[in-house]
């Protein structure tokens, strides 16, 4: 069994530990931030952490009404720009806490008046000493190069941040059940193994998601590229209509994330069009009508709402990538040309 698969299975316990050990600290952080009248939130990350930040952007903007920006680190590290960051919260996201460009942005942002927070799995990392407040994932060491438990751990901390900044609302209500939903989703492993074997010879695909699931589309595509060497493009379901749909032909693989809620009608419209084009569609959803339109389905629990879907919905994607790598005879733990810590400026 790969380390990646082992770490995927650890996620319910990791998420539960975050709730237990970080919730009190993050509530205190919320009080501090309210006193500072935060008017802008900037998230800075790379790789899987950046995909978690995509989710964080949607969640925080919907929950708080505060504009959220994804930083371009090179603005700081290569161009040396000095930004006006009074009343800004800058959040660095890095599993290792050793990304040189991420930490440089945090240090520069702090010097420019921002309040800085770091989300990392490593308590002894450089990031922890570079920020005003570090928030820890408590995931123990992640040994596979492909991030899984640290990715979902970062997402869980964004729920806690949203709650701390905005209080309990429809957006954050019930996220304590996410570890339970993840544990239930892991029960699909045998079915996903069969699904992965069907796609052993897949070389190209498209992954689609929108809104709170947009980051999931990016993350699954990244996992397929780094562990299975599949050329995986990722798009919003809305953007896919604006050109990329032209590349779809008979049996072209398309993977869709579709939770209940605001985005579901648009996904159904797209699924009907893909069926007309005879694409090979795999959907991760709890909606029976959408499932009937698509070629294959990973059924999710119907009580998982739109706002709670992102973490449990990525679990089938992680399993699919790990098991597809196995079906292809590849080692997902040591992708070629990659290392666990990537240092860029």
Per-residue pLDDT tens over the stretch 125-142: 999 999 999 999 999 999
| Angle subtended at Cα 230 by Cα 225 and Cα 236, rounded to the nearest 5 degrees | 70
In the numeric block, which tokens belong to residue 332? 């997902």
Is pLDDT above 70 for 41?
yes
Q: Are 131 and 100 in contact (CB under 8 A)?
A: no
pLDDT digits (tens, 9 = 90+) for 170-189: 888 999 999 999 999 999 99
Is pLDDT above 80 for 48?
yes
State the Cα–Cα distance between residues 289 and 287, nearest whole angstrom: 6
Q: Are 154 and 131 in contact (CB under 8 A)?
A: no
Is pLDDT above 90 for 335?
no
Contacts of 327 (CB under 8 A, 6+ apart): 196, 197, 199, 200
pLDDT of residue 76: 85
Q: Which domains does the chain have, with CATH numbers?
A: 3-173 (3.40.50.10490), 180-327 (3.40.50.10490)
Is pLDDT above 90 for 153?
yes
Q: Are 25 and 12 in contact (CB under 8 A)?
A: no
Is pLDDT above 90 for 243?
no
Buried-state track 321-338, b at ≥16 Cβ within 10 A, e below 16: bbbbbbbbebebbbbeee
Is pLDDT above 80 for 339?
no
State the Cα–Cα distance between residues 291 and 288, nearest whole angstrom: 5
pLDDT of residue 340: 52
Question: Which segment of 27-41, 74-88, 269-283, 305-319 scores lowest on mean pLDDT?
Answer: 74-88
Measured between its terminal Cα atoms, the distance across the chain in Å is 35
pLDDT of residue 247: 86
In the numeric block, which tokens belong to residue 336? 């070629």
pTM of the model: 0.95
In the numeric block, which tokens belong to residue 344? 């860029």
CA 207, distance to chain mean position in Å, is: 13
Torsion of CA 144, 146, 148, 153, to 10 degrees: 90
Is pLDDT above 80 for 165?
yes
- What is the rounded average pLDDT of the residues 32-38? 93
Question: Which segment of 90-99, 182-191, 241-250, 261-270 scores lowest on mean pLDDT?
Answer: 241-250
Q: Name the percent of the chain lying above pLDDT 90.
A: 87
- What is the rounded average pLDDT of the residues 201-206? 96
- What is the rounded average pLDDT of the residues 53-62? 98
| Average pLDDT over all residues of the chain | 94
State the Cα–Cα distance between residues 275 and 277, nearest whole angstrom: 5
Rg (CA), the chain: 19
Is pLDDT above 90 for 45?
yes
State the Cα–Cα distance between residues 103 and 189, nearest whole angstrom: 37
pLDDT of residue 105: 95
């Amino acid at each position: 069994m790969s380390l990646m698969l082992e770490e995927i299975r650890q996620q319910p316990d990791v998420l539960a530990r975050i709730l237990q050990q970080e919730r009190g600290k993050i509530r205190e952080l919320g009080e501090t931030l309210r006193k500072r009248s935060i008017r802008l939130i900037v998230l800075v990350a790379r790789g899987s952490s950046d995909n978690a930040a995509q989710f964080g952007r949607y969640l925080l903007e919907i929950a708080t009404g505060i504009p959220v920006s994804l930083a371009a680190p090179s603005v700081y590290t290569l161009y040396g720009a000095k930004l006006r960051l009074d009343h800004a919260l800058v959040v660095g996201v890095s599993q290792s806490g050793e990304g040189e460009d991420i930490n440089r942005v945090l240090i520069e942002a702090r010097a420019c008046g921002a309040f800085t927070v770091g989300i990392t799995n490593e308590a002894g990392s450089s990031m922890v000493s570079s920020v005003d407040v570090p928030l820890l994932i408590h995931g123990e060491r992640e040994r596979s190069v492909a991030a899984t438990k640290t990715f979902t751990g970062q997402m869980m901390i964004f729920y806690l941040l949203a709650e701390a900044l905005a209080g309990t609302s429809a957006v954050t209500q019930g996220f304590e059940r996410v570890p339970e939903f993840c544990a239930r989703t892991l029960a699909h492993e045998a079915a996903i193994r069969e699904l992965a074997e069907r796609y052993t010879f897949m070389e190209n695909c498209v992954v689609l998601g929108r809104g709170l699931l947009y980051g999931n589309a990016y993350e699954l595509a990244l996992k397929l590229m780094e562990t299975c060497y599949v050329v995986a493009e990722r798009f919003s379901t809305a953007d896919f209509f604006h050109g990329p749909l032209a590349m779809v032909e008979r049996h072209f693989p398309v993977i869709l994330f579709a939770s209940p809620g605001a985005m579901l009608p648009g996904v159904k419209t797209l699924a009907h069009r893909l069926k007309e084009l005879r694409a090979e569609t795999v959907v991760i959803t709890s909606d029976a009508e959408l499932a009937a339109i698509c070629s294959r389905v990973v059924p999710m629990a119907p009580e998982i709402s739109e706002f709670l879907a992102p973490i449990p919905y990525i679990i089938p994607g992680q399993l699919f990538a790990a098991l597809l790598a196995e079906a292809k005879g590849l080692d997902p733990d040591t992708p070629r040309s990659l290392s666990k810590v990537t240092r860029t400026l």
